[in-house]
Structure 1
Amino acid sequence: MNKSACYSKLLLLPIVGLLILFSACSSMRQTTYFQDLTPGETELKASFPLDIKVQPEDQISILVSSRDPQLTSLFNLPIISQQVGQASLGGGSSRGLAGYTVDARGEIDFPVLGKLPIAGKSRSEIAVFIKDKLISGDYVKDPVVTVEFMNLKVSVLGEVNQPGRFNIDRNQMTLLDAISLAGDLTIYGKRDRVMVLREENGAQRVYGVNLCSANQMYSSPAYYLQQNDVVYVEPNSVRSRQSTLNGNNVRTTTFWLSLASFLTTIGVLIFK
């Protein structure tokens, strides 16, 4: 082997090493969550916790109980009988109770008490509101009011493992909760570009959330989700190129290694 060939092959080694190193570092930066966190040293504060507030068209179940079941039965809607395997009304955890649908004015028609304005209230606030009405009206002395969501959902679309619509069954639901329900992002999802679509005051607003930065994620107004929010995970460039024939071939490490080997061969032939 002549000196030119040896020199060309030696020159190829650092180039190959740099290509592999660059590819590995780039992949890690694109797929790692919370890159600005250091265990035991980082302390972050999330945005102010935002409870789910009931809105018009939402469905809720309300159960009133006390020491006198016969008395409280006046304030409860009838139980819906269900066959085995049949989904509950609204797909929630209403335990077979019939539900109330909040009308356009934000009210429900409650037995005995009549129209009650509940839009803009959380589950606990609705429970306290109805309890006070029952006590102040001398209807029930010791009421216990339980409020459950019935049709409140969020949607998760794009590059996640299990896209779909998911029930809200708690007072607060975070973006991480929704992503977990959807089975996490795929390897092709842009972790630095997750969008949350939310209707506010009759207009659609889009929030961008960077999951690679815990500080940016926790401080985002979209960290705490609301009913009917849509979470969309944008595909990265690798996934986008898969829509075209051989779109990713020119970006793979194998391609660049083959190209380097080809150029080395040409160099050897020229300097023979």
Structure 2
Amino acid sequence: MKKKNVVFSIVTALMLISCATPKVAYFQNVQPGAAETVSEPMEIRIRPGDKISILVNSKDQLLVNLFNLPVITRQIGMTSNNNTSQGISGYTVNDEGNIDFPVLGNVHVEGMTRAEIAAYIKKELMEKNLVKDPVVTVEFMNLTVSVLGEVAHPGRFSIDKDRLTLLEALSLAGDLTIYGKRDNILVQREENGTKVFYRVNINTGEDLYTSPVYYLQQNDVVYVEPNSVRARQSTVNGNNVRSTSFWISLASLLTTITVLIVK
């Protein structure tokens, strides 16, 4: 009887280990009604190589046309002459952080937010008596973040707002799969020409909200590592219930135990 109990205990332990599942809950230490301190909001600031659109509007439409780039018409397909799309031309920030704006000439925009660029252009147009009461709109055109690894839809995603959080980027990628490590998410960021890496644990609200990469910047790369379950599945001899080697090993063990009991 004791031998049978030992066999049962061994088999049960093996099955529990092989069927163990990773923790997938977010914010495990957050209590209802609790308040978490969030890192200082970080807005997207323009860098060399970024592309932006600047649109000037006022009551005098003919006048503001001098300050707006032409609308580009693109042909889509070859089946119909009417199959076209339109888009606004943009300004690409040069290595010195400048754009060449109509009439105003070189305008330094590096390090500025969308709102700051719009306010500066508006001020210059009014102070030089070029446009009366202009409305200036600035939009991002080529700013993106990349999300890779154990997410539902990895890829590169456009930034269309001044503040983009890590959680929002993960949601754009369809959230983590059940095999993604939630306690060790890697974020790569370029700072002063150097690649800097940060680790974030989204299982805890405190670590997430105080992280310097809670607010993402353009060109950030988010990588979700696979957990041990996924890692075992990726190998031919992975020790899990879906692998042939696991069942062969288990059958061999049971055979050995049976022989010992019979003896």
Give the alignment's TM-score, normalised by structure 1: 0.83
Aligned residues of 1:59 and 1:151 also touching (Cα < 8 A):
yes
* Counterpart check, 1:198 vs 2:189: yes
Tell me the CA shift for residue 11 of structure 1: 5.0
Tell me the CA shift for residue 125 of structure 1: 0.8
Q: Distance in 2 between matches of 1:163 and 1:100?
A: 29
**Structure 2 partner of 1:146:** 137
Q: In 2 relative to 1, CA 205–153 (structure 1 residues): closer, same or farther, beyond 3 Å?
A: same
* Counterpart check, 1:107 vs 2:98: yes
Query: Identity over aligned residues, as a percent?
Result: 53
- Aligned to 1:27, which of 21, 27, 30? 21
**Structure 2 partner of 1:247:** 238
Q: Distance in 1 between matches of 2:66 and 2:233?
A: 61
DSSP 3-state at the match of 2:153:
coil
Tell me the CA shift for residue 146 of structure 1: 0.5
**Structure 1 partner of 2:82:** none
DSSP 3-state at the match of 1:190:
coil
Q: Distance in 2 between matches of 1:46 and 1:256?
A: 50
**Structure 1 partner of 2:112:** 121
Q: Distance in 2 between matches of 1:256 and 1:44?
A: 48
Tell me the CA shift for residue 261 of structure 1: 5.2
Aligned residues of 1:238 and 1:248 also touching (Cα < 8 A):
no
**Structure 1 partner of 2:33:** 41
- Aligned to 2:258, which of 248, 255, 265? 265
**Structure 2 partner of 1:90:** none
Aligned residues of 2:18 and 2:241 also touching (Cα < 8 A):
no
**Structure 1 partner of 2:167:** 176
1:63-82 counterparts in 2 under 5 A? 63-82=55-74
Aligned residues of 1:12 and 1:260 also touching (Cα < 8 A):
no
* Counterpart check, 1:212 vs 2:203: yes
Q: Distance in 2 between matches of 1:145 and 1:27?
A: 53
Aligned residues of 1:194 and 1:234 also touching (Cα < 8 A):
yes
* Structure with the largest fraction of helix: 1
DSSP 3-state at the match of 1:215:
helix
Tell me the CA shift for residue 263 of structure 1: 6.6
Tell me the CA shift for residue 206 of structure 1: 0.4
Q: Say what the alpha-carbon RMSD is for the aligned residues.
A: 2.7
Tell me the CA shift for residue 265 of structure 1: 3.2
Q: Distance in 1 between matches of 2:167 and 2:242?
A: 31
Tell me the CA shift for residue 33 of structure 1: 1.6
Tell me the CA shift for residue 12 of structure 1: 5.3
How many residues matched? 254
